[in-house]
Amino acid sequence: MAQLDATKWVNEYGDMLYRYAIPRVNDKEIAKDLVQDTFLAAWRNHDNFKGEISEKNWLFTILKNKIIDHYRKASTRLTEGLPDNTNDPFFDEAEHWTEQTGPKEWGIDYTQGVEKREFYEILNRCRKKLKDIQSAVFAMKYLDGLESEEICKELNISASNFWVLVHRAKLNLRACLEKNWVLK
């Protein structure tokens, strides 16, 4: 493969791939590494590229697999020390919302562009406060649209553990958003 093709990929697709990776791994350096790994894998396997999809889609497919590989490799580290119980500070013994943590009406017009941009900036900051495994599960489920079974398989976690992680991620994100954006 000619060097010019790799330079073309970087120039045409580098920023798009990076923007795709950032919200999924929630770490700029890891996102940069994954994009570099994507280009390297594409360069090494260019002879196997059949042209059945566009180069852009091919690169995005490689990146998606690199992101999943990243979480798969980290899954043992990420799941160590996860609590076995599902006790939650958001609920009382009867599993009802506590008065302090119950959902509040946000009263926000979600169609406003400035608020939407601000919302995503705050959401990304809040995601950084999640445990790595919660952020990974949240990204795979809600950004990539992967099925729960696939996420469980990729991260080597049980279905009940998956749902606890998703539940806690949503609760923590909601609390963070209310504190830093909605009710500030």
Structure confidence at residue 84 as a pLDDT band (50, 70, 90)? very low
* Separation of CA 138 from chain center: 6
pTM of the model: 0.62
pLDDT of residue 180: 82
113-182 fold:
Arc Repressor Mutant, subunit A (1.10.10)
In the chain, residues under CATH classification 1.10.1740.10 are 3-79
CATH 1.10.1740.10 fits 3-79, yes or no: yes
pLDDT-above-90 percentage for the chain: 25
Backbone angles phi, psi at 91, to 5 degrees: -125, 150
Q: Which residues contact 101 (CB under 8 A, 6 or more apart)?
A: 89, 90, 91, 175
Q: Is the pLDDT of residue 32 over 70?
A: yes
Q: Which of 72-81, 142-151, 153-162, 168-177 has the lowest mean pLDDT?
A: 72-81
The CA-to-CA distance between both ends of the chain, in Å, stands at: 54
Q: b/e per residue, 40-58, with b = 16+ CB within 10 A?
A: eebeeeeeeeeeeeebeeb
Q: Give me the phi and psi of 97, to 5 degrees please.
A: -60, 140
Binned at pLDDT 50, 70 and 90, residue 94 comes out as low
Residue limits of CATH 1.10.10.10 in the chain:
113-182
H-type helices in 26-54, by residue range? 28-44
166 sits in which H/E element:
helix 159-177
Q: Regarding predicted confidence, which is higher, 116 or 162?
A: 162
Residue 181: how many CA atoms within 13 Å on its side-chain side?
A: 22
